[in-house]
Amino acid sequence: MNGGICHKSLVQTIAEEIEKQIINFELKPGERLVEQTMCDRFQVSRSPLREAFRILEHDGFLTNTARRGACVSGMTYNEAVDIYTIRANLESLAAGLAVKNDDGTLAQRLRARYETMKAAAARGDVNAYAEANSAFHAELIGACGNERLIAMLDLFVKQTARYRALVMQNEGRLETSLRKHEELILAVERGNATEVEEQRKNAILANIDLMREIFTTSK
């Protein structure tokens, strides 16, 4: 894995791979990451691994304690409320800016992403749907023209990923999601920035009620 890759890229590659495993629940909340085992898996020394751990700790995916070392961060209802509230406000702002900056192609680009989502839903492929859904929102957020806002949102979109996976397990959730995305595209076509902002904020905040149900049921 070291072949020709600069140190910074190696650290980032390790961090992204571990992050993906956490989001996909291959590494579960509370699971301890043993340094030597991870070094063997990635075929690296402890130095780049520890740097990757620090990145993941900063982004909220790992928790480091004196007695246990690095562990996958837990998932709680209170955390879900915090990150969904922040994401709702930031993403609604980005969505409104995207409509205001629209060059006339935004709705068309979003609909192309939406068609991929529909195809995945028709196959019942939740993972493919999640990827297409992420691409849809990346398209929308990327059109806002504010690089700092895009960077901030990238973190909160990642941090909601594990919670979003729980939501998608609910029966009928794909159909509800598709309907909301169709409504969003229509609002973009109308060029109504305020309506788009409100739709995104309400859609994201609605996940908080679902989180309450999920965490209450799991107790």
The enclosing domain of 53 has a CATH number of: 1.10.10.10
| pLDDT at residue 3, as a whole number | 44
One domain, residues 127 and 184: yes
What is the extent of the structural domain holding 203? 77-217
Could you tell me if 144 and 208 lie in one domain? Answer: yes
131, part of any domain: yes
**Residue 56: how many CB atoms within 10 A of its CB?**
23
H-helix or E-strand spanning residue 157? helix 147-159
**Reported pTM:** 0.83
Residue 73 DSSP one-character state: P
Same domain, 51 and 89: no
The per-residue pLDDT for 126 is 85
Residue ranges, the chain, pLDDT below 70: 1-8, 171, 218-219
Q: Which helix (H) or strand (E) holds 57?
A: helix 46-58
Q: Rounded distance, CA 215 to CA 219, Å?
A: 6
| Among candidate residues 176, 212, 184, the one with its CA nearest the CA of residue 77 | 212
81 occurs within a structural domain:
yes
Beta strands in the chain (DSSP E): 62-65, 69-72
49 is a domain residue: yes
Q: Give pLDDT, residue 67.
A: 80
* 47-101 pLDDT per residue, tens: 999 999 999 999 999 998 878 889 999 999 999 999 999 999 999 999 999 999 9
Residue 2 located in a structural domain: no
Tally of structural domains, the chain: 2
Whether residues 48 and 85 fall in one domain: no
Q: Round to whole Å and give the CA distance between 27 and 29.
A: 7
Structural domain includes residue 1: no
Domain endpoint, select from 50, 72, 94: 72
User: Residue 71 in 3-state DSSP?
Assistant: strand
